[in-house]
């Protein structure tokens, strides 16, 4: 296949050169048929009138006539034309060989690399030489391969993470059931509730995963329209007021007056804010405080959720939005915590609406503040 590709592309280039040469020579030849005789005559006449006819005759040895002179000239012209043709063809052959090598080699390299990538070797790269269109293609190709590699790595890690997350509750359910069957565990409400709680956990995990995959795939319609910030915040605080009350946590609002409307999807924005506020309530001990504030910064509105809770140690801050990332797995489990997907979903939703989301915390025990922006 390689050999035939090389010969095909190389042959195409050679033949295109050849066609140009043949056409050139044909044009030259035909033109000479028409122009050469009259031009020759004109020049000879000019020369004749300058030197006088005797001198001309003498110069020509007195023997040859005008037609004979022309025939000689014609023959030498044709001979020169033939040599020129040969030289041009040799040059075309050499040039097309060199040129086709410089075109065919990178194309071949990329063709091989695609085959290897298709076979699952995502670390495959091609060499980039120079900066012409082919080099740009090679560079784009490498970028694409890098992206594929990342996606593949993410896919593998996701499968590993998901199976790990599923295993914990499943093991617990299985263990309890075995205990019940063997009579080791008493058939009491407590035991059933434990099993139910683990099943519930599985349920939540699967729901979260489904939501995450939908959000990350962008497989939901965004209904972007102007939204009133205060009513948005109130929707969320109303929804979470009971939860906050049960933990004796006060929910404060601090909205600058005359906020312009947001340009965002209402349901999704409520979802983000609900996520942040319920996290704040969840990770704040009883008697603490959670405050929601909103202000305008240039062409965006920045909404912040501040809590007086357990805070986040600095080494965890960069990962807090990663899938399944929990600062303290056992603590977040005891606290009825989720699977560590909530913030990942929040980030995907904010970014899908053209905003940014980030977190600040001075470390453990100092509370944390989550901010996100959305366009006006």
Residues at the site binding Mg ion, with contacts judged by CB under 5 A: 279, 338, 342
Please select the residue that binds ligand ADP; options are 205, 280, 292, 349, rule is CB under 6 A. Answer: 280
* Closest to Mg ion by CB, 101 or 333: 333
269 forms part of the interface with ligand ADP (CB under 6 A): no
Rounded distance between C-alpha atoms, residue 54 and residue 258, angstroms: 110
Rounded distance between C-alpha atoms, residue 153 and residue 253, angstroms: 42
Rounded distance between C-alpha atoms, residue 334 and residue 331, angstroms: 5
- Shortest distance in whole angstroms from residue 268 CB to ligand ADP: 16
Among ligand ADP, Mg ion, none, what binds residue 124 when CB lies within 5 to 8 Å by partner kind? none
Q: Which segment (151-159, 172-180, 229-237, 278-286) binds ligand ADP by CB under 6 A?
A: 278-286
343 forms part of the interface with ligand ADP (CB under 6 A): yes
* Closest to Mg ion by CB, 126 or 292: 292
Q: Are β-strands 250-255 and 289-297 bridged in parallel, bridged antiparallel, or unpaired? A: parallel
- Shortest distance in whole angstroms from residue 305 CB to ligand ADP: 7
Q: Which segment (7-15, 54-62, 156-164, 319-327) binds ligand ADP by CB under 6 A?
A: 319-327
What's the token pair of residue 229? 């910030």
337 forms part of the interface with ligand ADP (CB under 6 A): yes
* Closest to ligand ADP by CB, 162 or 224: 162
Backbone angles phi, psi at 199, to 5 degrees: -65, -40
Give bridge partners of residue 301 from the DSSP assignment: 296, 374
Among ligand ADP, Mg ion, none, what binds residue 348 when CB lies within 5 to 8 Å by partner kind? none
340 forms part of the interface with ligand ADP (CB under 6 A): yes
358, containing H or E segment:
strand 357-361
Nearest partner of 309 among 330, 329, 293, 331, judged by Cα: 331
240 forms part of the interface with ligand ADP (CB under 6 A): no
Among ligand ADP, Mg ion, none, what binds residue 368 when CB lies within 5 to 8 Å by partner kind? ligand ADP
Question: Which ranges of the chain would DSSP assign to H, the alpha helix?
Answer: 2-51, 53-59, 66-118, 133-182, 189-217, 229-246, 266-282, 329-334, 342-352
What's the token pair of residue 197? 């709680």
Q: Which segment (26-34, 136-144, 165-173, 320-328) binds ligand ADP by CB under 6 A?
A: 320-328
- Contact, 309 vs 247, CB < 8 A? no
* Closest to ligand ADP by CB, 96 or 344: 344
244 forms part of the interface with ligand ADP (CB under 6 A): no
Backbone angles phi, psi at 344, to 5 degrees: -65, -45
Please select the residue that binds ligand ADP; options are 269, 271, 279, 373, rule is CB under 6 A. Answer: 279
Contacts for 364 with CB less than 8 Å, ≥ 6 apart? 310, 311, 312, 313
Rounded distance between C-alpha atoms, residue 245 and residue 190, angstroms: 26
Please select the residue that binds ligand ADP; options are 269, 353, 368, 373, rule is CB under 6 A. Answer: 368
Among Mg ion, ligand ADP, none, what binds residue 308 when CB lies within 5 to 8 Å by partner kind? none
- Shortest distance in whole angstroms from residue 354 CB to ligand ADP: 21
Burial of 231 (0-12, 13-18, 19+ CB in 10 A): exposed
Q: Which segment (94-102, 157-165, 210-218, 335-343) binds ligand ADP by CB under 6 A?
A: 335-343
* Closest to ligand ADP by CB, 169 or 309: 309
Rounded distance between C-alpha atoms, residue 326 and residue 44, angstroms: 100
Residue pointed to by tokens 């996606």: 151
Rounded distance between C-alpha atoms, residue 10 and residue 139, angstroms: 23
* Closest to ligand ADP by CB, 66 or 317: 317
Give bridge partners of residue 305 from the DSSP assignment: 292, 370
338 forms part of the interface with ligand ADP (CB under 6 A): yes
The site for ligand ADP (CB under 6 A) is made up of 279-280, 283, 307, 309-312, 320, 325-327, 332, 337-344, 368
């Amino acid at each position: 296949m390689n050999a035939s590709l090389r010969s095909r592309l190389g042959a195409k280039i050679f033949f295109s050169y050849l066609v140009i040469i043949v056409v050139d020579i044909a044009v030259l030849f035909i033109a000479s048929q028409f122009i050469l005789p009259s031009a020759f005559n004109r020049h000879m006449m000019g020369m004749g009138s300058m030197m006088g006819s005797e001198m001309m005759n003498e110069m020509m040895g007195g023997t040859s006539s005008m037609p004979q002179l022309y025939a000689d000239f014609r023959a030498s012209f044709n001979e020169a034309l033939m040599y020129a043709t040969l030289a041009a063809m040799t040059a075309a052959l050499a040039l097309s060989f060199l040129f086709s090598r410089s075109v065919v080699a990178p194309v071949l390299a990329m063709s091989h690399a695609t085959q290897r990538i298709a076979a699952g070797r995502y670390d495959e790269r091609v060499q980039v030489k120079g900066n012409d269109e082919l080099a740009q293609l090679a560079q784009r190709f490498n970028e694409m391969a890098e992206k594929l590699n990342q996606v593949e790595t993410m896919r593998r890690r996701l499968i590993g993470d998901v199976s790990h997350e599923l295993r914990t509750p499943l093991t617990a359910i299985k263990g309890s059931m075995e205990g019940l069957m063997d009579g080791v565990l008493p058939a009491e409400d407590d035991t059933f509730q434990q099993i139910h709680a683990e099943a519930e956990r599985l349920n939540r995990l699967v729901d979260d995963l489904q939501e995450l995959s939908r959000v990350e795939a962008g497989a939901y319609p965004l209904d972007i329209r102007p939204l009133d910030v205060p009513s948005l915040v109130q929707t969320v605080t109303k929804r979470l007021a009971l939860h906050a009350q049960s933990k004796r946590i006060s929910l404060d609002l601090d909205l600058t007056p005359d906020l312009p409307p947001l340009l965002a999807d209402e349901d999704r924005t409520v979802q983000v804010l609900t996520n942040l506020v319920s996290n704040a309530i969840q990770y704040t001990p009883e008697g603490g405080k959670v405050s929601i504030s909103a202000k305008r910064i240039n062409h965006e509105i920045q909404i912040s959720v501040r809590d007086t809770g357990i805070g986040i140690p600095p080494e965890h801050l960069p990962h807090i939005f990663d899938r399944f990332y929990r600062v303290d797995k056992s603590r977040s489990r005891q606290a009825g915590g989720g699977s560590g997907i909530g913030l990942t979903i929040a980030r995907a939703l904010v970014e899908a609406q053209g905003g940014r989301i980030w977190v600040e915390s001075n470390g453990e025990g100092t509370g944390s503040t989550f901010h996100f922006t959305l366009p006006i």
